[in-house]
Amino acid sequence: MEGQALTDALDGLRQEVRQWLADNAPHGWRERSSSEAAFLQIQRDWFAKLVEGGYAVPHWPAQWPGGGRSLAEQKILYEELARADTPRLLLSFMSTYHAACTLFEWASEEQQALLIPRILAGEIWCQGFSEPNAGSDLANVRTRAERVGDHYVVNGQKLWSTMGQFADKCLLLVRTSNDGPKQAGLTYLLLDLKAPGVIARPIHQIHGDEEFAELFLDNVEIPVSDRLGEEGQGWAVAQSTLSSERGLTLLELSARLRGALWRLGELIRAQGRQDDQGIVRDFGRLSAKVDATCAVADQFLANRIAGIERVGDASIVKLSYSRTLRDFTSLGIRLGGIDAQYHSPITFGGGMETGNWMADFMNSYAWTIAGGSDEVQRNIIAERLVGMPREPKSWTLKEGAA
């Protein structure tokens, strides 16, 4: 399709989605989402509805229900979802992006046939990469997996697993060997969180929400058939998950950011600051940044589809997004004045759209820290894209230092 025909088709889709949202978008979720149980219910219901409408996973390949949408179509969908003020799918986000996209790349046909439909049916995944001593230095993972016959026996602790306390399954990075470079001893397993020996303990985040959890694994058995890639190939598989987290998810998130700019516009008018040049300029600058973030996410995906994605491209997308989101929520607080300093009940499941600016602002740190912090992205960009030398690997510490 070209030119006018394409534009017409996209306009048609926008109308179709808008109509569907008018009939199906949940109402009053913000008010109702202040309890965990209500949050879970709203999220599950909304996900199921989107699956039914064919709008839950537009980024999946065409052979799966709801998949095969073009980039332009996906964007329209996300913008309309934001405009209709629907809750972000926090609960199933990891399942439909991190898990699914890793599975598409690495899982066998049998594994895919088994696991992908369950995601559509509402199975929740979380990501178990980080550990107390493996944060930015992800290769330092120490959770140990010992092969015994046709299964692995796993022992260790995982930290900051988003939605870990609600999840059914976990993308698990473990150590199967201590020989050679750290990365070479890693293996990627799919953990059933209902298995004996798994304990999830929620952790309180600073905005009051329990969004992530730590996982304790005590002699947990994982069948060898639940491994992605070969033993020792975990680092490469993990890069797929991270690339999805840093790049692919951002098409949705940046389009939602653009779709949510009206929230700030409304606030500027409500505060009578439409003639305040400082505010108007900053809002203008922010809108341009949001557009640039959307554009760089689009470009990333186009390159990925064309097979010319470079290592590090995803880092640019993530770094643009995290900084723009910080500016976005900061402007909200600035406009909110003293009111933004008051605590209103936490709305789970919002990104920059909870209607609670301080919570959104604090939550924006999730994006500058999680999924590889801004500093780590900068290192990747400088070293992998710009070609600057890497930091020396070994350091000589003075006796007694640290």
Question: CA distances (Å), 150 to each of 222, 234, 299, in order?
Answer: 9, 18, 43
Over the window 109 to 148, marking each residue x when it contacts another protein by CB under 8 A and - when it does not, the resulting string is ---------------------x--x-xxx--x--------
Q: Shortest Cβ distance from residue 89 to another protein (Å)?
A: 21
Q: Does 306 bind another protein (CB under 8 A)?
A: no
CB 282 within 8 A of CB 292: no
| Distance of closest approach, residue 131 Cβ to ligand FAD, in angstroms | 8
- Dihedrals φ, ψ of 305, to 5°? -65, -40
Annotated catalytic residue: which of 131, 211, 245, 252?
Answer: 245
| Known catalytic residue at 214 | no
- The SS3 assignment for 399 reads coil
181, 122 contact by CB (below 8 A)? no
Binders of ligand FAD: how many residues, by CB under 6 A? Answer: 20
Is position 378 an interface residue for another protein (rule: CB under 8 A)? yes
Nearest to 251 by CA among 162, 320, 312: 320
Beta bridge partners of 158: 215
The option from ligand FAD, another protein, none interacting with 397 (CB < 5 to 8 A, set by class) reads another protein
Both tokens assigned to 104:
């598409």
Could you say whether residue 195 binds another protein (CB under 8 A)?
no
Decide if residue 386 touches another protein (CB under 8 A). no
**How many angstroms separate the CA atoms of 95 and 43, rounded?**
13
Contact between 205 and another protein by CB under 8 A: the answer reads: yes
The residue of the chain with the least Cβ separation from ligand FAD equals 135
Binding part of the chain for ligand FAD, among 193-201, 266-274, 352-360, 374-382 by CB under 6 A, reads 374-382
- Write out the binding residues for another protein, residues 245-304 only, by CB under 8 A: 276, 278-279
Could you say whether residue 373 binds another protein (CB under 8 A)?
A: yes
| 101: contact with ligand FAD by CB under 6 A | no
* Cβ partners under 8 Å of residue 247, min gap 6: 297, 300, 301, 304, 309, 313, 314, 317, 318
Residue 240 binding ligand FAD, by CB under 6 A? no
The site string for another protein over 152-171 (x = CB under 8 A, - otherwise) reads -------xx-----------
161 binds, among ligand FAD, another protein, none (CB under 5 to 8 A by kind): ligand FAD
Instruction: Output phi, psi for 289, to 5 deg.
Output: -65, -40
The smaller minimum CB distance to another protein, of residues 269 and 343, is found at 343
DSSP symbol at 388: P
Q: Does 348 bind ligand FAD (CB under 6 A)?
A: no
Query: CB–CB of 322/373 below 8 Å?
Result: no
With 0-12 / 13-18 / 19 or more C-beta atoms within 10 angstroms meaning exposed / middle / buried, residue 196 is: exposed
Cβ proximity to ligand FAD: between 103 and 376 the closer is 376
**35 vs 219, beta carbon nearer another protein:** 35
**CB nearer to ligand FAD: pick between 129 and 166:** 129
Angle between helices 71-83 and 3-24 (to 10 degrees): 30
269: Cβ contacts below 8 Å, ≥ 6 apart: none
Count of Cβ atoms closer than 10 Å to residue 38 Cβ: 14
Compare residues 137 and 146 and give the one whose CB is closer to another protein. Answer: 137
Residue carrying the six token digits 């003075």: 398
Residues that bind another protein (CB under 8 A): 130, 133, 135-137, 140, 159-160, 203-206, 208, 276, 278-279, 333-334, 337-338, 340-343, 358, 361-362, 365-366, 368-370, 373-375, 378-379, 391, 394-395, 397, 401-402
